[in-house]
Amino acid sequence: MLPCLIFEDEHLLVVNKPAGLNTHAPSPYAGDGLYDWLRHREPRWAALAIIHRLDKETSGVMVFAKTPQANRSLTAQFTARVVRKKYLLLTDRPARQKEFVVKSTLVRRGDRYLSQPLTRGGGIAETRFRSVRMPHVPGKTADHWHWFEAEPLTGRTHQIRVHAAANGIPILGDTLYGGTPAPRVCLQAVELQLKHPASGEVMQFSVPIDLPPTGIQSYAAAQTKGGLLWTTASWPSLALRQATIEGEETQAYRLVHGASDGCPGWYLDRVGDFLLSQSESPLTAAQQNELEHFAATLARQGAYHKLLARQPGQVQRLAASPRLVFGKPAPERFAVRENGVAYELSFSEGYSMGLFLDQRDNRRRLLSRHVAAGFPLCLPPPASRQWEALNTFAYTCGFSVCAARAGARVTSIDLSKRYLEWGRRNFRLNQLDPEQHNFIHGDTLDWLRRLEKKKRPFDVILLDPPTFSQSKTSGIFRAEKDYEKLITAALPLLPAGGVLFASTNAAAWPPEEFIAAIERAIRRARRKIIQRHSVPQPLDFPVSRAEPAYLKTVWLRVE
């Protein structure tokens, strides 16, 4: 069960949206929004409909319709303004009034909206504000903080933020409207009341308050020195992960993703009972402090740091391995769970620990046999045979394990015998008999040609090559130059209606050009794409202007 899920029945899905997540995807390759992520996650959510929106940095209650009846009913309730919404905001500016109503016209000017006097023909925006006392705010900092309940009677974009700023109480963190800088906009939708679309019963949904106190005393103290001090470990980047990752079913994920989480050049992962920090330089004092905060918050046993090399292939394995920073050292090999599947990892194997965390959602798609809304992974094979999956560049066989768990007979190809043996151990770790599957040591392009000669069909073919590799058989492989050659070699093994998964982490290769290369290869083979779903980076690898997407993946059903 997703931690952010509040309520679900046949008609409604109610969630607690975390701050830092858009309601819907801003563009095709700029990361998922909450709506897109939910709609494609479970088959029963395929018809999910957006009824209302929350700004990216606003957290709190959101309702989605699951049926046409619910969509009509909720839309009518929001239009008639019978849905009651209550927000909580935090400001560091004293208010002139304890209770007031703002009624104005909102006019857009660039990225902002302006509150102007009511004019004929303008859209009316109306909000009620009421000062409230919050007992959980530390007493000695109470004079610094002022809390307000806001009830929007209309539903205009940025309405509460604009009205608050126009009346002298800009929301903490809302720098767009004059608020004091903070890691997020301190606005939360704490309560939503509506009538059930089928029964007519009045339903009220509420969420715990997720605005400070954590870190608030440090913030107040730093204010007097002219600076800000927040701990990333406490708020808000951790909250996004805790809302969207299923607890102990997934024990490995990213906690801090560089500039997108306010920490340029620094990356931090939870890896089971340990933390793994990564950057191109040794840890700074501030990063060390953050690492200690995360370890204390998540009760991790130890923390490691790894120096990121610009050319990892030229770095010796031991030199590339992470070093223990503090705490208990990790065993030589240890297991973690991801989506309920066990994987063996190691911090002493060089540049990678045995699992690429940014492919977690794609491994889940194999596991559930569900790619996206209306896109099952594979059509039912004939009753006389098991469905077949081919995992090229298999590494430690993470994709292979998930496909096997989902009922496939899997063929895994990799240049490294050592990694294939690691893959066999991953099979055994999940009570899967590796002898029932194929592990092929060799060059992928060479083996694709061999399998074509043997007329071996595969219902699903997985292509996730390294950006650069070299083999004695095929020579140098560069993703941007040779990906079309790889697609061309794989297509003869894919029967009509089969699914092709294509992925690359070539950061400098624009996603439009990556997709175009795949399409060219498919057209040249006189095949046709009949279904597609592009997958952005997982939510714990957030995309921003400061930290653009590097991973590009697409699932294709080919005629």
Residues that are catalytic: 55
Please name the residue that has the structure tokens 């959510």. 45
> How many other C-beta atoms lie within 10 A of the C-beta of residue 399?
30
Q: Which residues pair with 271 in a beta bridge?
A: 252, 274
φ and ψ at residue 161, rounded to 5 degrees? -65, -45
Give the separation between CA 495 and CA 493, rounded to whole angstroms.
6
Of 182, 194, 253, which is closest to residue 19 (Cα–Cα)?
Answer: 182
18 and 260 Cβ atoms separated by less than 8 Å = no
The two three-digit tokens of residue 370, written as one number? 């569900």
Give the separation between CA 239 and CA 476, rounded to whole angstroms.
43
Q: What angle do CA 554, 557, 559 make, to 5 degrees?
A: 140
Angle of helix 479-490 versus helix 444-453 axis, rounded to 10: 20
φ and ψ at residue 318, rounded to 5 degrees? -70, -35
Instruction: Give SS3 for 444.
Output: helix
The two three-digit tokens of residue 182, written as one number? 């903070």
In the chain, helix, strand, coil percent, each to 5?
Answer: 30, 30, 45
Please name the residue that has the structure tokens 């088959």. 43
